[in-house]
Structure 1
């Protein structure tokens, strides 16, 4: 399924990133694990990088091989971190890494962004999202101030903007067969689940009460792996809701269905 492909997995030290790295390796990929922390069990080669820092990303890109067949953008911070840090890692750093890798992507490469059910309200945030299009690392503090991005809103906004960026680039690299998609989980039982429950308040409580259980990384990693595979070559600019039915539930509730 992924035999001989070189796949980069960010956030590979824990949670969905660790599970994805292990799974794609088991499917034959050559994995390059990336994280700010060294994984307890390294899958493939490991490169330490801080995705909130441009220079660290530049060093990472320079250390990567000349041919990359897939990028799983899974690294992310929960809303317990300062808003500026959340935006730098979850949005600005993610986009910067992806764009810096364009020259190394093989024709037919796949980019998979880990978004979230938290991003479902992107339609109500289009003005701020449009303003973030050219957002750079140094601009984040002022952007957060102008657009009232603070506390839990930082996480919601980062995922809203990521979903829109994914859709906007559905055909950007079509001439090379490079595709970009997103996966949006709901609550996932990872080491940072408690951070979400503490900071997202009523929304998180409602989701947890409605669902039969939170997801596990093993529920999400196969979706990412599929989108990295050639079997997903006709899926472009899509946001796959791997959330146990929560997105459909919210839509039905919203529209009285």
Structure 2
């Protein structure tokens, strides 16, 4: 297993961050042979150019899926992910859009369908966060931006995708450990992740008659570009220390949760949240 106990100090100037600049690079390659669990299916992943999204894209590709992924502006990371998908023998499609726009989300789904002809798996994963040491520092503009990406984007992309998802399709949302524990420096971000838990539970009930399962994954401290793009060097160097396992997690330790929820192995699960978080026991 490729892992690091503690990341070395580092910082990036803008979000959502670039994987190419991280030292060491996150572990994103699947750690097991594929078993064709997603053979013939098409997945659409927001924030799929790096971090957890990239690891999910590669893991699903190894299981036979073709993958469209959305990214904001990290062209180099997106091209790297496309090359990695080709190495897995899969076909990828990189779509550069801002998911906080409903029109953009409609265009994302249209481009996916035009290229692949179908859609079976939607992974709502893109997110942003900003450290604020005092609650009063959260501006209205920032609050709207964080909710626009982390909540509205999930609603918009789901709304655009639903007419094209048939029975047996699935939606997987990314939440966070912060939805359950809170975070004193990421109050608005934690609020959005809590909203995603409620979205998952409510939407799963709403789509029962359509045969579409809806679940979520709530990762703990994972080594992704969002970390050095959010925190200062000291906080980055401590990322993961508080987890019971005593280290930061890797994206390829989280991706199998998404593959499981997308596959027939999880055919009796909907409205649930999985917790790859390094050992923190949570209720829910």
TM-score range relative to shorter protein: 0.7 to 0.9
Q: Does 1:217 align with 2:251?
A: yes
Q: What SS does the corresponding residue of 2:95 show, helix, strand or coil?
A: strand
Tell me the residue number matched to 1:7: 43
Tell me the residue number matched to 1:50: 98
Tell me the residue number matched to 1:71: 122
In structure 1, list runs of 5 or more residues that go unmatched: 123-149, 252-257
More strand by proportion, 1 or 2?
1
Tell me the residue number matched to 2:14: none
| Closer/same/farther in 2, CA of residues 117 and 151 from structure 1, 3 Å limit | closer
More helix by proportion, 1 or 2?
1
Tell me the residue number matched to 2:148: 88
User: Do the aligned partners of 2:217 and 2:276 also contact (CA within 8 Å) in 1?
Assistant: yes
| Closer/same/farther in 2, CA of residues 210 and 23 from structure 1, 3 Å limit | closer
Q: Does 1:30 align with 2:90?
A: no
Q: Does 1:241 align with 2:275?
A: yes
Q: How far apart in 2 are the matches of 1:218 and 1:8?
A: 18
Per-residue Cα deviation, 1:130-175 (whole angstroms, up to 9, x for no partner): xxxxxxxxxxxxxxxxxxxx97211010000110111122221112
Q: How far apart in 2 are the matches of 1:197 and 1:187?
A: 13
Q: TM-score, normalised by structure 1?
A: 0.78
Structure 1 residue 197: Cα displacement: 4.5
| Residues 128-147 of structure 1: pairs in structure 2 closer than 5 A | none
Structure 1 residue 215: Cα displacement: 0.8
Q: How far apart in 1 are the matches of 2:278 and 2:205?
A: 29
Structure 1 residue 232: Cα displacement: 0.8
How many residues are aligned here? Answer: 219
Q: What SS does the corresponding residue of 2:155 show, helix, strand or coil?
A: helix
Q: TM-score, normalised by structure 2?
A: 0.71
Q: How far apart in 2 are the matches of 1:184 and 1:210?
A: 14
Per-residue Cα deviation, 1:95-135 (whole angstroms, up to 9, x for no partner): 1111221111121111000100000158xxxxxxxxxxxxx
Q: How far apart in 1 are the matches of 2:40 and 2:254?
A: 22
Q: How far apart in 2 are the matches of 1:210 and 1:33?
A: 30
| Residues 111-122 of structure 1: pairs in structure 2 closer than 5 A | 111-120=171-180
What value does the CA root-mean-square deviation take over the aligned residues? 2.5
User: Do the aligned partners of 1:80 and 1:195 also contact (CA within 8 Å) in 2?
Assistant: no
| Closer/same/farther in 2, CA of residues 214 and 103 from structure 1, 3 Å limit | same
Structure 1 residue 61: Cα displacement: 2.2
